[in-house]
Amino acid sequence: MSRQRPLSPERVAAALNVIDPVFLGSPLLSSAELDSRTGLSIKAKLETRNPIHSFKGRGTSLFVRTADLPGSEIVAASAGNFGQGLAYCGSRAGYGVTVFASTSANTAKIEQMRRHGARIILAGADLDAAKAEARAYAREHNALFIEDGAEPSIAEGAGTIAAELTDECPDIDAIFVPLGNGALATGVGCWFKSRSPRTKVIAVAAQGAPCMVLSWQKRQFAETAAADTIADGIAVRVPVPYAVECLRDTVDDVMLVSDAEIIAAMRIAHESWGVEIEPAGAAGLAGIFQRASGFAGAKVATVLCGSNLTSSQRSTYFNVKNGGEA
């Protein structure tokens, strides 16, 4: 397991004064009609109204602004949103950013990573294969390899979502958080365990990418043979050891949602709030709907954490031919 330092709620609080303000203060959504339909009071933090259209700018901004980075090149692997965050924040701090992505990566995310200043190298059939190529490249070029989920400051930056949420909406009974590499779930959980320990923190992974859920349940590293889900942002088959370690102290429960449940949640978010959320970004909402009967009358929250969709995805999920939220 990793020897990284534990996550710190004090550093989460301090991060609110460090992170680029363009990523802070995201809207808090609710819907009386949806609450009536589900028997819940649902609150959703919308993390899409920023330059990279996802929550990843919080953690990457904090990392770039606080880390003592050697050299001039940052190397990472990404399905797209983490790479966008590094590209946006790293390039503005004067670093070259090289991002490895799989050959099947979301084309809209690839384009946006390039637009924000990243050099893109396509390698490997999935994210974890691309990550192996990125590590090898970093070693060969004496560059700094950054892994999403393995850096405390990246998780603590994500935890500022929870810090805002507890100010805006106290007495939350449960929060359902998408679970991929683990930075969002552990960062949010770190804050709630310290500031609102009564709140149940539930991490939600895709049924076709269960490695982090299995690792939490078994209390050990549990790699899977494949990650097969439409939710590319949480399609992980090789767990991040540091994130697995942090999940033990920050999450109360884990669960899996199917692709069909994710699509239903995306469409409900569109109907209720007029927003187009990518599959990974809707996993937490899908978790709420799956567990609704067990939380009847409760105040529950989630994070709508990304909206980077291709035109084909928009057409498929929302019947949107052109335009729409990026």
Place of tokens 């494949």: 226
C-alpha 304/C-alpha 311 separation (Å) is 19
Nearest to 221 by CA among 209, 203, 237, 205: 237
**CA 3 vs CA 148, 190, 203: distances in Å:** 16, 17, 23
Confidence of residue 176 (pLDDT cuts 50, 70, 90): very high
The yes-or-no verdict on residue 171 having pLDDT over 60 is yes
Q: Tens digits of per-residue pLDDT, 187-204?
A: 999 999 999 999 999 999
CATH number for the domain whose boundaries are 9-54+152-318: 3.40.50.1100
C-alpha 258/C-alpha 266 separation (Å) is 12
The yes-or-no verdict on residue 206 having pLDDT over 80 is yes
- Please determine whether the domains at 9-54+152-318 and 56-146 fall in the same fold group of CATH: yes
Give residue limits of the domains in the chain.
9-54+152-318, 56-146
103 in Cβ contact with 83 (< 8 Å): no
148 in Cβ contact with 82 (< 8 Å): yes
Q: Tens digits of per-residue pLDDT, 210-227?
A: 999 999 999 999 999 999
Q: Which fold has domain 56-146?
A: Rossmann fold (3.40.50)
Q: Tens digits of per-residue pLDDT, 99-142?
A: 999 999 999 999 999 999 999 999 999 999 999 999 999 999 99
Residue 3 pLDDT: 59
234 in Cβ contact with 178 (< 8 Å): yes
The yes-or-no verdict on residue 326 having pLDDT over 90 is no
